[in-house]
């Protein structure tokens, strides 16, 4: 009996404590919200009143600073950037790239321009979120300078005015070595670039098969289906919206629909649904022969890659055109791994570096981006990371051309010119999320039966 | 008394500080779900996002899937956990190896659990290889369907490994104490060990057990990593669906993600009230008090 009483008392005590605690929290939140509101109110009041001079003069300052940067010659930019620190925000999942940035690119910047590189690994969604939050808070001096970006994220950043520009015209290496008439330099997933980002590297979607399990690489979607039928459970692709899985599906769509049809397509779900119907029909036909019978898909590209390395699958896929060589050299892929593409070609895209609109070191960012476009850096990136260079081969002198030609992409890869000859354009950025949504609705776990 | 109250408030202060940050985030999210994001020049308040997101069949499926995983893993954890408690109540301490078995899962993060569950249960995993070695030609077929399945078996299994020890850890000392006093009293009055455990000890520990059940339920309902790594592509858990909506490249879609977050919050709040009602209602204890008397 006494025990029970004790427990009862304990419980009532607990409830009381809980209640007082909750009310405390509640009051605190009220105070906080109240503060937020009153300070917000104060802000609007002051800006409508005479106090507006403060914020507007700050704006003018900011603008004139931007104009200054835009007016500077490259030498003046170098001078302004001397001794500064530039932050570089971007996806940090590629360890080889991280090391190259830290061990090759950063020392070069330090030596040539006395610029310190602060590499910050962050997913692009989070970068955009941070920029949006900073904009909401009226922050004109953000920590983000350079951003690794492309595709629909570039479109979002431009639509919301997160990026600074145009700036590429001021970069000597851009003018000397980049082909400005190349559609891939003019448009990013169909979105006009207009000088708001500079090319960083070229990617091309490729498939990597294990020759032991795949004597003849499928040359098109039909042969791919036949292989899957003959070898059930041996192939699959990452679940959308994974970047690579999404590219695979777009490649399949291009097997059925002319890429040109999408370039001006309205970003309307029903329009897209109708246009890609034959491809989704195909994907549903493919489903029963995939790994796990198309009921589930690997969550992302790394998981697919792991399953390929474990021998659970005969196929992996990647945007890194020469990844097979790196995989074989590291001993992660079987010696029999071989890159292949469809006869119709595969999607290639360029990724870029942009500058945040509220960056405090735009001059430093521009100098650093210029360095990234130098033949030395692009060559080093090609040699060490096997990234397809973004420079115009015709603009290079003979020695430079020879140096680029001398790079051997390594075992299991396709030669660079073959890839570039069979390169398909990306779809307009706004269509991509629609396709990803439709895939979840109409493909996963479904068949045409 | 007053001084001690003040002390208690002081002690609560760090927790309070964290709660304020947390609540501010939640409130911001709820507001953004109403379509109010000035930075994206969205300033019209509307309930449309909440309504549209809950009407989407995929969201509903996700909520049901998350509820299923939460329900299955918490019920099974409690049942198995209480059974393990029963095995050891008569010993002063459970043996060292049991102690280790209980402590290790509690400190291992969920993400690590996910990795080794894949190592063990995948079609090229340790289990499949073992089965193959001892002569099962179709070892891969046997283990297929345990991971990435639409019922979430792999997810629930991983949660069990994490949460059963939690139940034991959370409830064992109280259970043993009560079983040692009132449970033994019941046994001297003629109940057998199991009867005493089920009919006397467990009802008296009801609150603690329900609380631990509640903790596991709420955690698994809102959790992201295990369903994301071990679960099927569809249905997604509600946390996964929300995260994918949140990463939509078009920032104008942000209110949808926030509205889905809002639904998680509302459902959790509803659950919390429901559990509070069960845990703190006085009736049963009176009743039992009457029986005892």
pLDDT digits (tens, 9 = 90+) for A143-177: 999 999 998 899 999 999 999 999 999 999 999 99
How far is the C-alpha of A96 from the C-alpha of A104, rounded, in Å?
11
pLDDT of residue A243: 87
Chain centre to alpha carbon of residue A157? 12
Query: φ, ψ for residue A199 (rounded to 5)?
Result: -65, 150
Facing residues of A355 across strands? Answer: A146, A164
pLDDT at A34 over 80: no
pLDDT of residue A230: 96
Counting residues of chain A whose pLDDT is more than 90, the rounded percentage is 69
Mean pLDDT value across chain B: 87
- Who among A11, A21, A153 is closest to B207 (CB)? A11
- Who among A1, A312, A440 is closest to B292 (CB)? A1
* A267 in reach of chain B (CB within 8 A): no
Extract the tokens encoding A20: 């007082």
How far is the C-alpha of A74 from the C-alpha of A91, rounded, in Å?
28
Chain centre to alpha carbon of residue A221? 26
Chain centre to alpha carbon of residue B228? 16
Interface of A with B in 144-163 (CB under 8 A): 151-153, 155-156, 159-160
Cβ–Cβ of B39/A299 closer than 8 Å?
A: no
Window from A10-19, A272-281, B211-220 with minimum mean pLDDT: A10-19
Question: Tell me, what DSSP letter sits at residue A387?
Answer: P
E-assigned strand segments in A193-321 = 197-204, 206-210, 315-318
Chain B neighbors of A310, CB-CB under 8 A: 122, 124
- Who among B12, B39, B234 is closest to A132 (CB)? B39
Mean pLDDT of B5-33: 87
Collapsed DSSP state (helix, strand, coil) of residue B35:
coil
Cβ–Cβ of A241/B204 closer than 8 Å?
A: no
Cβ partners under 8 Å of residue A164, min gap 6 = A66, A196, A354, A355, A356, A357, A359, A362
pLDDT of residue B52: 92
Query: Which one has a higher pLDDT value, B88 or A376?
Result: A376
Mean pLDDT value across chain A: 86
pLDDT at B153 over 80: yes
Mean pLDDT of A338-361: 95
Chain centre to alpha carbon of residue B129? 32
Cβ–Cβ of A432/B39 closer than 8 Å?
A: no
**Edge-to-edge strands, sheet with A337-340:** A315-318, A206-210, A337-340
Cβ–Cβ of B39/A133 closer than 8 Å?
A: yes
Nearest to B146 by CA among B78, B70, B230: B230
Mean pLDDT of A178-203: 93
Interface of A with B in 27-46 (CB under 8 A): 28-29, 32-33
Q: Within 13 Å and on the Cβ side, how many CA atoms surround B142? A: 14
pLDDT of residue B146: 85
Cβ partners under 8 Å of residue B288, min gap 6 = A4, B203, B204
How far is the C-alpha of A248 from the C-alpha of A286, rounded, in Å?
13
Q: Are strands A315-318 and A146-149 parallel, antiparallel or unpaired?
A: unpaired
Question: Tell me, what DSSP letter sits at residue A1?
Answer: -
pLDDT at A66 over 60: no
Q: Which range scores top for mean pLDDT: A296-300, B61-65, B288-292?
A: B61-65
Distance from CA of A175 to the nearest CA of B (A): 31
Nearest to A353 by CA among A127, A136, A129: A127
pLDDT at B99 over 90: no
Please give the span between the terminal C-alpha atoms of chain B, in angstroms, as a whole number. 33
Chains A & B: contacts with CB separation below 8 Å? 107
How far is the C-alpha of A140 from the C-alpha of A358, rounded, in Å?
5
CA angle B238, B239, B241 (to 5 degrees): 65
Extract the tokens encoding B125: 């995993």
pLDDT of residue A291: 92
pLDDT at A399 over 80: yes
Burial of B56 (0-12, 13-18, 19+ CB in 10 A): middle
Q: Is the dihedral of CA A356, A359, A363, A369 positive or negative?
A: negative
How far is the C-alpha of A140 from the C-alpha of A62, rounded, in Å?
8
For B128-145, the pLDDT digits (tens) are: 888 888 888 787 778 877
Chain A neighbors of B12, CB-CB under 8 A: 21, 24
pLDDT of residue B193: 87
Q: Which range scores top for mean pLDDT: A132-141, A377-386, B38-47?
A: A377-386
Q: Return the number of other C-beta atoms located less than 10 Å from residue B189's C-beta.
A: 9
Give the CA diameter of chain A: 97
- Who among B12, B248, B251 is closest to A21 (CB)? B12
Cβ–Cβ of A7/B207 closer than 8 Å?
A: yes
Mean pLDDT of A57-66: 46
pLDDT at B176 over 90: no
Cβ–Cβ of A440/B123 closer than 8 Å?
A: no
Chain A neighbors of B251, CB-CB under 8 A: 128, 132, 156, 159-160
For A115-141, the pLDDT digits (tens) are: 999 999 998 988 998 998 898 888 889
Chain A neighbors of B246, CB-CB under 8 A: 125
pLDDT of residue B7: 81
Q: Are strands A206-210 and A337-340 parallel, antiparallel or unpaired?
A: antiparallel
Chain B neighbors of A444, CB-CB under 8 A: 233-234
Cβ–Cβ of B23/A440 closer than 8 Å?
A: no
Question: Tell me, what DSSP letter sits at residue B40?
Answer: G
B233: confidence class by pLDDT, cuts 50, 70, 90: confident
Residue A432 near residue A269 (C-beta atoms within 8 A): no
Collapsed DSSP state (helix, strand, coil) of residue A90:
strand
pLDDT at B202 over 60: yes
Could you write out the three-class secondary structure of B210-230? HHHHHHHHHHHHHCCHHHHHH
pLDDT of residue A366: 97
- Who among B178, B280, B285 is closest to A15 (CB)? B280
For B279-291, the pLDDT digits (tens) are: 877 655 444 443 4
pLDDT at A5 over 70: no
- Who among B19, B232, B250 is closest to A433 (CB)? B250
For A238-271, the pLDDT digits (tens) are: 999 888 999 999 999 999 999 999 989 999 999 9
Query: Which one has a higher pLDDT value, B259 or A125?
Result: B259
Cβ–Cβ of B148/A295 closer than 8 Å?
A: yes
- Who among B9, B23, B233 is closest to A297 (CB)? B233
A281: confidence class by pLDDT, cuts 50, 70, 90: very high
Facing residues of A348 across strands? Answer: A204
How far is the C-alpha of A41 from the C-alpha of A169, rounded, in Å?
42
For A301-332, the pLDDT digits (tens) are: 988 998 999 888 999 999 999 999 999 999 99
How far is the C-alpha of B43 from the C-alpha of A376, rounded, in Å?
49
Cβ–Cβ of A295/B8 closer than 8 Å?
A: no
Cβ–Cβ of B37/A136 closer than 8 Å?
A: yes
Distance from CA of B81 to the nearest CA of A (A): 22
Cβ–Cβ of A152/B249 closer than 8 Å?
A: yes
Cβ partners under 8 Å of residue B30, min gap 6 = B258, B261, B262, B265
Extract the tokens encoding B160: 């069990």
How far is the C-alpha of A318 from the C-alpha of A207, rounded, in Å?
7
């Amino acid at each position: 009996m006494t025990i029970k009483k004790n427990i009862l008392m304990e419980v009532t005590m607990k409830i009381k404590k809980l209640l007082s605690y909750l009310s405390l929290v509640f009051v605190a939140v009220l105070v906080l919200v109240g503060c937020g509101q009153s300070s917000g109110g104060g802000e609007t009041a002051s800006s409508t009143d005479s106090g507006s001079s403060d914020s507007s003069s700050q704006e003018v300052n900011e603008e004139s600073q931007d104009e200054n940067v835009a007016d500077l010659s490259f030498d003046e930019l170098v001078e302004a950037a001397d001794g500064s620190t530039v932050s570089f925000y971007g996806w940090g999942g590629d360890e080889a790239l991280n090391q190259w940035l830290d061990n090759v690119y950063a020392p070069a910047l330090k030596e040539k321009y006395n610029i310190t590189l602060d590499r910050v690994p962050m997913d692009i969604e989070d970068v955009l979120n941070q920029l949006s939050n900073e904009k909401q808070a009226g922050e004109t001096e953000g920590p983000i300078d350079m951003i690794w970006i492309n595709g629909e994220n570039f479109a979002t950043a431009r639509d919301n005015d997160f990026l600074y520009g145009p700036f590429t015209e001021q970069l000597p290496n851009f003018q000397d070595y980049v082909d400005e008439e190349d559609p891939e330099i003019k448009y990013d997933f169909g979105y006009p670039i207009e000088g708001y980002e500079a090319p960083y590297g070229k990617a091309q979607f490729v498939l990597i098969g294990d020759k032991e399990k795949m004597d003849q690489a499928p040359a098109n979607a039909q042969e791919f289906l036949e292989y899957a039928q003959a070898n059930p459970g041996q192939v699959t692709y990452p679940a959308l919206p994974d970047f690579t899985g999404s590219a695979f599906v777009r490649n399949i769509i291009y097997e059925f629909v002319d890429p040109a049809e999408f370039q001006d397509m309205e970003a309307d779900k029903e329009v897209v649904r109708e246009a890609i119907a034959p491809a989704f029909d195909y994907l549903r036909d493919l489903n029963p022969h995939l790994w796990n019978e198309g009921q589930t898909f690997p969550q992302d590209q790394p998981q697919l890659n792991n399953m390929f390395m474990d021998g659970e699958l005969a196929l992996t896929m990647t945007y890194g055109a020469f990844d097979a060589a790196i995989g074989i050299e590291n001993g992660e892929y079987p010696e029999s791994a071989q890159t292949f593409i469809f006869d119709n070609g595969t999607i290639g895209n360029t990724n870029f570096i942009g500058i945040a609109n509220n960056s405090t070191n735009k001059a430093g960012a521009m100098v650093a981006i210029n360095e990234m476009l130098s033949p030395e850096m692009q060559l080093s990136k090609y040699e060490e990371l096997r990234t397809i260079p973004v420079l115009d081969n015709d603009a290079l002198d003979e020695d430079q051309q020879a140096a680029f030609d001398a790079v051997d992409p390594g075992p299991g890869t396709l030669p660079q010119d073959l890839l570039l000859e069979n390169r398909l354009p990306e779809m307009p950025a706004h269509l991509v999320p629609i396709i990803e949504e439709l895939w979840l609705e109409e493909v996963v776990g479904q068949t045409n039966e | 008394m007053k001084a001690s109250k003040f002390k208690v408030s002081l002690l609560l202060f760090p927790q309070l500080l964290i709660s304020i940050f947390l609540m501010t985030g939640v409130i911001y999210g709820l507001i953004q779900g109403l379509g109010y994001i000035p930075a994206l020049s969205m300033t019209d308040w509307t309930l449309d996002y909440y309504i549209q997101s809950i009407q989407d069949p995929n969201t509903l499926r996700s909520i049901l899937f998350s509820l299923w995983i939460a329900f299955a893993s918490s019920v099974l954890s409690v049942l198995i956990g209480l059974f393990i408690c029963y095995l050891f109540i008569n010993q002063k301490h459970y043996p060292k190896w049991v102690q280790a078995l209980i402590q290790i899962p509690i400190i291992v993060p969920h993400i690590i659990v996910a990795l080794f569950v894949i190592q063990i249960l995948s079609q090229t995993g340790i289990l499949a290889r073992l089965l193959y070695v001892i002569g099962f030609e179709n070892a891969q077929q046997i283990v297929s369907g345990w991971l990435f399945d639409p019922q979430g078996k792999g997810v629930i299994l991983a949660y069990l490994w994490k949460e059963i020890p939690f139940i034991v850890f959370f409830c064992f000392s109280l259970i043993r104490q009560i079983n040692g006093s009132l449970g033994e009293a019941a046994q001297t009055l003629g109940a057998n060990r199991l009867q005493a455990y089920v009919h006397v000890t467990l009802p008296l520990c009801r609150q603690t057990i329900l609380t631990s059940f509640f903790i596991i339920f709420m955690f698994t309902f809102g959790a992201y990593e295990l369903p994301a790594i071990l679960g099927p592509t569809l249905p997604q858990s509600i946390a996964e669906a929300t995260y994918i909506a949140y990463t939509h490249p078009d920032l104008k879609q942000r209110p949808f993600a926030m509205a889905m977050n809002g639904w998680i919050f509302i459902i959790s709040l509803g659950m919390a009230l429901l559990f509070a009602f069960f845990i703190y209602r006085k009736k049963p204890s009176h009743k039992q008090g009457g029986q005892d008397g």
